[in-house]
Amino acid sequence: MESIKRNVLLNPGPSTTTDTVKYAQVVPDICPREKEFGKLMKGLREDLVRIVHGDPGKYTSVLFCGSGTINIDVCINSLLPEGKKVLVVNNGAYSTRAVEICRYYNLPHIDLQFPVDEIPDLKKVEEVLRENPDIALVHTTHNETGTGILNPIREIGALAHKYGAVFTVDTTSTYAMRPINIEEDNIDFCMASAQKGLMAFTGLSFVVGNRAIIEKSKDYPKRSYYCNLYLQYDFFERTGEMHFTPPVQTIYATLQALKEYREEGEEAKWARHTRVFDAINEGLDELGFKQVIKPELRAGLVSSAIYPDDENWSFEKVHDYCYERGFTIYPGKISTTNTFRLCALGAIDESDIKDFFVVFKEALENTGVQIPVRYND
């Protein structure tokens, strides 16, 4: 097996993958309607539930062909009964995406906004739930990838359940990284994509959630033909297949990635991501970079650094310098502050971050940015 040029991706997914996962895509051509392929998908669906420690009798997973956003679309448009309302607990770009989905489907919703660098005020969340008994679905994001803040999902989930609502959580940037226990964390539905925590490829996304609630949603309005949770679930249960063509090669890669996930182990993998994250923060601190999220509120996977007040600072130039040397850095996603992000996803370790900061520091020096970086205030 020839090794493939290794790039260290510090963007928030897709992530750096192992060569064994890359090569797992190279398989004999197969029609995904064959029984052999159906068997693979059945095992895959069960493994995806296992990652969040779900009881297989109570929880199931449903696969979709698409990027991670398809999961948010599916959950929101499929799990809202007629005449009911969605509450989005929103402190960042990814929860805002859920609000836009509500808007596009014309769903009654409340966009409960909080500052991007603060965790949601649970008293306000409860107040809104108490005043709006027609809220049937509460949605939020676990790790707001736009900033890297960790939201208190267990507490928000407890409130949702206290007021009889279903709780959906966008766990795309924590699943298979930061340990999740679907039941203890009060999650009814969580979601992810193969290219993030699982360290496989784009094209396969999935929702893991409560089987009884999916079955109940059979009678809810069907607002999308392609992106309906019950229809896809039902097709899987009856035939073992995806309703329409699955991302065949990505599924093979994901099976290999799951094997490597089990070999590494949940705890060891999280410890590795933590090592990488600590190295990122250490490197940023040494260069004098300020960050948006206070250390105690960080989810441990995404660092959001603020642009220095230096006339020579150019994200583009620094990005290009690093990119040419195999390291990818990523712009921020906050409308009010100019930031860039460094993420601890993927098949990378502390030593990659050490190597990265050598290059990053060179990039700053070469473009004439003063070190340590300066801020006006």
* Residues in touch with ligand PLP (CB under 6 A): 12-13, 67-69, 94, 141, 145, 170, 172-173, 193
Which helix or strand (DSSP H or E) is residue 181 part of?
none
Residue 317 CB, shortest distance to ligand PLP, in Å, is 26
Residue 31 CB, shortest distance to ligand PLP, in Å, is 27
Alpha-carbon span 264 to 268, nearest angstrom: 6
Residue 35 CB, shortest distance to ligand PLP, in Å, is 30
> Locate tokens 């040029």: which residue?
5
CB atoms within 10 A of CB 363: 22
- All residues at 6 or more sequence positions from 375 whose CB lies less than 8 Å from its CB, including other chains: 290, 306, 308, 309
Cis? peptide before 14, omega within 30° of 0: yes
Helices (H) and strands (E) in the chain, counts: 12, 14
User: Measuring CA to CA, which residue among 363, 365, 367, 372 is closest to residue 312?
Assistant: 367
Nearer to ligand PLP, 98 or 369 (CB): 98
Nearer to ligand PLP, 67 or 314 (CB): 67
Nearer to ligand PLP, 3 or 335 (CB): 335
Which residue's CB comes closest to ligand PLP? 68
Nearer to ligand PLP, 111 or 215 (CB): 111
The pairing of strands 302-306 and 109-113 is unpaired
Residue 2 CB, shortest distance to ligand PLP, in Å, is 29
Nearer to ligand PLP, 101 or 279 (CB): 101
CB atoms within 10 A of CB 64: 26
Nearer to ligand PLP, 92 or 308 (CB): 92
Residue 141 CB, shortest distance to ligand PLP, in Å, is 5
User: Helix H segments across 287-338?
Assistant: 315-324
Residue 172 CB, shortest distance to ligand PLP, in Å, is 4
